[in-house]
A and B are shown apart, each in its own frame.
Chain A
Amino acid sequence: MSDRGLPSDVEAALLASQEQQNRFISDNLRRIFLLIYRIVGNVADAQDLTQEAFIKALQRQDQLKELDKATHWLSRIASNTAIDFLRRNGKVNFCEIDALVEPLREPSESPEQALLRSEHRAYLEDGLAVLTDRERTALLLRDVEGLPAEVVAEQMSCSKATVRSHIANARIKLKRYMDRSRGTGKRLS
């Protein structure tokens, strides 16, 4: 018998399961936090939603044979949690299509300064912030998580055409932002 009054084999199984859960959390925490942060746009909400996503996933871990192969499954739970949050707070209607307009925000630093300070990625983050919530969510799920457009549409509860429009707008806006930051903006004829 263990200290908790459990038979030793049950105690050992519990410890092994906890160990596996801890490894699963530490292996995926950063990636999931960043995914959610980039969708919701602030640390406090991202922290809460990351915790919520892990709890949901680990409570349903019996649906999964091997936790180690659960990265896509976890990403899906995480993005759903973030999307639900935005929807619940009335922040976003994912099925409206935004007009393709020039990004309003100008890069805060010149490209030379940015290069000097190796902050190319800071521009990228800044560029993501220029996108609307629906564009950013669609782009992250498609280009970062690598989900097919149909799956993104399903997750955002929109038609595939709408999601393709979000994805295209997001790519164009982000590229224009990056072009401006490099001072090489150009338009197609």
Chain B
Amino acid sequence: MKHPAEIQLALFAGSDLGRWERWRVRRHVGRCAGCAEEVQALRAVGDDLREAAGEMPAQFTKDLNWTRLAEEMTANIRVGLAAGEAIARFDRPVAPKKLGLGWHAAMVVAAACAIFAVAFWSSLPPQQAQHLMASLRRIRVERLGMFVRSPALASDEVVLEASSSGIELKENGGAMSLTHPHAEGGTVSVSLQGEAGVRFVDADTGQVTTNKVYYGEQ
């Protein structure tokens, strides 16, 4: 009689054979006392192992204080969990902070601005207030740094224009221009008080010329 290999018996003992092989080995073991005994012994070792799994190994009882070790491990687990939570909280993306200005605060700020504007306006001398009003109405910036003018003006109004080629004063259809033909691109400055200036650098001599025109009401 040909016995199954020892490996097959070991697998049979733990129900780890495929269906066909299991049937074949079972048939043999049913008729062979030696193999049946071998399978029984293999199963007994497995049973012993399962039974012993929950027990402390014998050498531990001498060298190891399980209670102390268990307490130490429990404490370390708690520390590990707390550390993990802290790290997770630290790594969590922070929601972008909203500006702390609510409706109420915005309204208070707007009201304060309005009160300030009214107080400023009412504290101005009448002449200055009129002048400021006229200037605000008149001046419109079309091309920043290049050109300042008011496009629609009454014929009796004075226009002070500054461009990169010079300064021009217009009044009642007449104009007075101050230009510098040899200059390469002047620097223009205009102020709300009725002042215009152009700063030229002469291309040939390198000389700097500054022209300023002031407009003042009599």
Residues of chain A having any CB pair with chain B under 8 Å? 21-22, 25-26, 29-31, 33-35, 37-38, 43, 47, 50-52, 54-55, 58-59, 100, 119-122, 124-125, 128, 139-140, 142-144, 149, 164-165, 167-169, 171-172, 174-175, 178-179, 188-189
Q: Provided the pairs A29-B74, A171-B13, A172-B10 are in contact, do residues A124 and B80 lie with their beta carbons within 8 angstroms?
A: no
In residues 21-61 of chain B, which contact A (Cβ within 8 Å)?
A: 34-35, 38, 41-42, 45-46, 48-50, 52-60
- Greatest chain B CB density within 10 A among A22, A124, A128 is at A124
Q: Is the CB of A34 within 8 A of B6?
A: no
Residue in A closest to B38 when the chains form the complex, CB atoms:
A188
| Residues of chain A contacted by B114 (CB below 8 angstroms) | none
Q: Is the CB of B52 within 8 A of A121?
A: yes
Report A4 CB to chain B, min CB distance, Å.
13
Report A65 CB to chain B, min CB distance, Å.
19
Q: B76 an interface residue at 8 Å Cβ cutoff?
A: yes
Q: Is the CB of B16 within 8 A of A122?
A: no
Q: Provided the pairs A51-B80, A164-B11, A167-B11 are in contact, do residues A124 and B48 lie with their beta carbons within 8 angstroms?
A: yes
| Residues of chain B contacted by A125 (CB below 8 angstroms) | 52, 57-59
Report A39 CB to chain B, min CB distance, Å.
12
Q: B81 an interface residue at 8 Å Cβ cutoff?
A: yes
| Residues of chain B contacted by A21 (CB below 8 angstroms) | 81
Docked pose: A129 CA to B41 CA in angstroms: 20
Report B44 CB to chain A, min CB distance, Å.
8
Q: Provided the pairs A143-B49, A174-B45, A175-B41 are in contact, do residues A54 and B77 lie with their beta carbons within 8 angstroms?
A: yes
Q: B145 an interface residue at 8 Å Cβ cutoff?
A: no
Q: B3 an interface residue at 8 Å Cβ cutoff?
A: yes
- Greatest chain B CB density within 10 A among A29, A54, A171 is at A171
Q: Provided the pairs A142-B16, A149-B16 are in contact, do residues A51 and B77 lie with their beta carbons within 8 angstroms?
A: yes
Q: Is the CB of A142 within 8 A of B14?
A: yes
Residue in A closest to B72 when the chains form the complex, CB atoms:
A47
Docked pose: A128 CA to B74 CA in angstroms: 27
